[in-house]
Amino acid sequence: MNKLAGTLREAIIACGLSDGMTVSFHHHLRDGDQALNQVMAEIAGLGIKGLRLEASSLFAAHAPLIEHINHGVVTSIGTGYMAGPLARAVSEGFLAEPVRFRTHGGRPAAMARGTARVDVAFIAAPAADPCGNLSGIKGPAACGSLGYAMTDARYAGKVVALTDHLLPYPLFPASISEEQVDFVVRLPSIGDPQGIVSGTTRMTRDPVALAIARLAAQAIEHSALLKDGFSFQTGAGGASLAVTQFLKPIMRRLNVKGSFGLGGITGYLVEMLAEGYFDTLLDVQCFDLKAVESIRDNPRHQEISAARYASPLAKSAAVDALDAVVLGALEIDTDFNVNVHVDSNGVIAGGSGGHADAAAGAKLALVAAPLFRARLPIIVDKVRCVSTPGDTVDALITQRGIAVNPRRPELEDRLKRAGLPVFPIGKIKEIAEGYTGIPTPIEPKGKVVGEVEYRDGRVIDVIRAIR
């Protein structure tokens, strides 16, 4: 059955999209995404108003949403992550309703529960056939895994695929199959490859980040988890990514053969897969070109859905089988609660993504962060926003030592016996404040502009407008 719509507008009309409905988008094209803006412009042109937007993440590229909010086209947003001008606008109280921040695993759970309903999912597909078999590994906007989009395809009332690379039926291998897709629309371009994957993920050269990463790798070495069958996840930024660089020689020295690498996948994990350090990679999102090439060419590099990655309602999820994860933090407090939502001025600067999911699932959740950024210590008495509850965080790694959560005395004992620099978190906070002094906290007092929904559906914190 040919599902090709003549135009994007025809597809939107055929879906029956009307005022007050919910539309969804995935973020595999990241900051290179051009699909969301084209769709929203078309919807605005049709005069449809009062829409709810469910986007797995929103980037600087999505700044045109500010205009659509201004004109009442979009009146509420649910997302896992938000950055750029839109995040700034939301922090200034631009949107009437609070943004619902979910985790990457919480999003499919909310859709399964029915608390996040989607009327029409718009799925940017780097390759598609006329019946709606979709792939992320081919075409000019190839992004690799389509893990987050699988959720939208499964739960949305109507599914519109958008592609700039139409292939003959039946496209193979398909990540999303024709049984879930209603319409296929051809667009001149769905994304700018420059912004989709960052080319090569560059290992940080910041010596402080490297010192933190080395210590984190040593903590993993002495956690009793680094043995055959070891599984590992890391963020793509700064110190967390650099942990892989230090973990590899340790695995070689101890002759450890890992089981799987999980999460957003970078070239470094691809390299470790190719060199036999891991049996397989479970990939919900490719972060660079090497990851895209690997998921295309290496059958050991598997694509997984957001639900399989991290949904707490899945019958089982990969994060629950995870040994160790290294996460970042904008702030962490003395109860080990982590903030990855707002910056030191209280402005929205991200979101959980898979942070809270991986912390909850992994046997060892490490937060790796510098003792201070600019002149502000990252350890505070109370975080401005709880993104990840402290009872799921096992230790903080800084350049001047490790603080182990008092809930993990046996871990503290192991790391101390290994001769690693372990201190109470209050002591590390004091060290930081010895350099910076104690800053006066900035506490936004405006209306609630964001609600942080934990993976189980509870709202665990709110974000307030900065003015």
Strand 127-128, strand 120-124: pairing: unpaired
* DSSP per-residue codes, 136-162: SSSSTT--S--HHHHHHHHH-SEEEEE
What does the binding site for other proteins look like in residue numbers (CB under 8 A)? 205, 207-208, 210-211, 214, 217-218, 246, 249-250, 252-253, 399-400, 418-419, 435
Tell me if residue 466 falls in helix, strand or coil: coil
- Which residue lies nearer to other proteins by CB, 127 or 425? 425
Cα angle 327-148-52, degrees, rounded to a multiple of 5: 105
- How far apart CA 35 and CA 407 sit, in angstroms, is 45
CB of 245 to other proteins, least distance (A): 10
Which stretches of 6-135 are DSSP H helices? Answer: 8-14, 35-45, 65-70, 85-91, 106-113
CB of 221 to other proteins, least distance (A): 8
- Which residue lies nearer to other proteins by CB, 113 or 435? 435
- Which residue lies nearer to other proteins by CB, 253 or 315? 253
CB of 328 to other proteins, least distance (A): 18
Sign of the alpha-carbon torsion through 307, 259, 295, 247: positive
B/e letters for 183-211, b = 16+ CB within 10 Å, e = fewer, are bbbbbeebbbbebbbbeebebbeeebbbb
CB of 254 to other proteins, least distance (A): 11
CB of 210 to other proteins, least distance (A): 6
Strand 127-128, strand 134-135: pairing: antiparallel
- Which residue lies nearer to other proteins by CB, 6 or 249? 249
- Best CA proximity match to 187, nearest among 7, 32, 31: 7
- Strands (DSSP E) contained in 206-363 are 231-234, 258-265, 278-286, 301-303, 324-327, 331-333, 338-339
CB of 222 to other proteins, least distance (A): 8
- Which residue lies nearer to other proteins by CB, 218 or 388? 218
- Which residue lies nearer to other proteins by CB, 248 or 296? 248
- How far apart CA 75 and CA 69 sit, in angstroms, is 6
Using only C-alpha atoms, the chain has a radius of gyration, in whole angstroms, of: 22
- Which residue lies nearer to other proteins by CB, 63 or 208? 208
CB of 270 to other proteins, least distance (A): 20
CB of 281 to other proteins, least distance (A): 23
Sign of the alpha-carbon torsion through 42, 44, 50, 55: positive
- Which residue lies nearer to other proteins by CB, 208 or 256? 208
- How far apart CA 434 and CA 162 sit, in angstroms, is 54
